[in-house]
Amino acid sequence: MPEKTSQKILKFNNELSKTKLNLPTGFKEINPFNSSSKKQVQNITKTFYQKYYNDNKKRRMILGSSPARRGTGVTGVPFENIEHLQNKTGIFIDNFYINKASSNFLYEVIEKYGGTEKFYNDFYMNFVCPIGIAKINSKGNLVNCNYYENKKLKDSLYSFIIKSIKKQLNFNIDTTVCYCIGSGENYKFLSKINDEYNFFKVIIPLEHPRFIMQYNSKQKDVYLEKYINALNYKI
């Protein structure tokens, strides 16, 4: 009997729990699958993926840059709104924060697309770099950091990123189209490696929800329509 997508994803997450990144000085990995709340993350992800991915259907991939320190870096489920995730899994999630404006915009996209069941039936979401990165600032505090913010950092993560994408393509991914959340550096890097490895036929860039809600909130409906048109793209 073929392995279901949920099993493949959970196995991939388990491999991430054993991954140790070789980062430059001043950076720290944020790995929800190997943290003090590891068991909680395992419960959340198992419940979530068995609920929505317990099949062998083809799905298109949506890739952000890297998990936020207090968002996916805590729960292990990409981009999910806290209340929404708790309602779906029935698991109370403590010590969790995510930019509500960003996650609420994506939830609006999901609802406009046809609802949670339809969205996760058609799409799989993760990150170009599936382990979060934080940098240590001048005060010694950890702050969010994207994998592309520093050349040494990006170079140190290059082979890990390539291997991670290759593994996830085995999750019955439809490689005709990939969606890139982040139309700047994330799209630029993903396009570069796609030119080399031919992961996808087409990569569609989408503005990051944080950019939309912080700087263009009055045009939210325009971006919402752009997301929906992109998700319905036929090649």
3-state helix, strand, coil in the chain (%, to 5): 50, 15, 35
Are the C-beta atoms of residues 99 and 211 closer than 8 Å to each other?
no
Could you give the CA distance from residue 47 to residue 75 in angstroms, rounded to a whole number? 12
190-225 pLDDT, tens per residue?
999 999 999 999 999 999 988 898 888 899 999 999
* pTM of the entire predicted model: 0.92
Q: Which CATH superfamily is domain 5-230 in?
A: Uracil-DNA glycosylase-like domain (3.40.470.10)
Q: What is the pLDDT of residue 120?
A: 95
Residues of the chain where predicted confidence (pLDDT) is lower than 70: 36, 69-74, 81, 89, 93-102
For 64, counting Cβ atoms within 10 Å of its Cβ (0-12 exposed, 13-18 middle, 19+ buried), the class is: buried
Q: Name residues whose C-beta falls within 8 Å of residue 186's C-beta, 6 or more positions apart in sequence.
A: 63, 64, 65, 128, 146, 148, 180
Nearest to 96 by CA among 149, 28, 44: 44
Distance between first and last Cα of the chain: 31
Q: What is the pLDDT of residue 199?
A: 98
Ramachandran bin of 28, using left for φ above 0, alpha for ψ from -120 to 50, beta for the remaining angles: beta
Q: What is the pLDDT of residue 102?
A: 66
